[in-house]
Amino acid sequence: MSKRSIRKVALWRLALRFGLIFVIVVILIQLIWELVSSGNLNAITESFQNSKWIVYAISKVILGVVYGFTMAYFTKKNAKK
């Protein structure tokens, strides 16, 4: 994206893009780490059975929102220069 097009995009849309990509990357890294460390993905299925998925999902949403808005703010600020 060029600086001109970044200036036109709304802050929340840019934050949504950053946040979604970040959350997807974090989840993939966690899945790979679990697979490498234990050799299977049983810990993930067990955590979803014990209703711990709500805490997991909420933490990822909060992480994505904070990261997304932070990166969007600094990107728009840098594009204005």
Q: Which residue has the higher pLDDT, 62 or 50?
A: 62
The answer to whether residue 44 scores a pLDDT higher than 80 is no
Q: What's residue 4's pLDDT?
A: 67
Residue whose token pair is 């204005």: 80
Mean pLDDT of the chain: 86
Q: Which residue has the higher pLDDT, 17 or 39?
A: 17
The answer to whether residue 19 scores a pLDDT higher than 90 is yes
Q: Which residue has the higher pLDDT, 79 or 43?
A: 79
Tally of domains in the chain? 1
Find the domain containing 61 and state its range: 3-80
Which residues are within 8 A (CB) of 4 and not within 5 positions of it... i.e. 6 or more apart? none
pTM score of the predicted model? 0.80
Residue whose token pair is 């990261």: 67
Cα–Cα distances in angstroms (integers) from residue 35 to residues 45, 50, 75, in the given order:
12, 20, 34
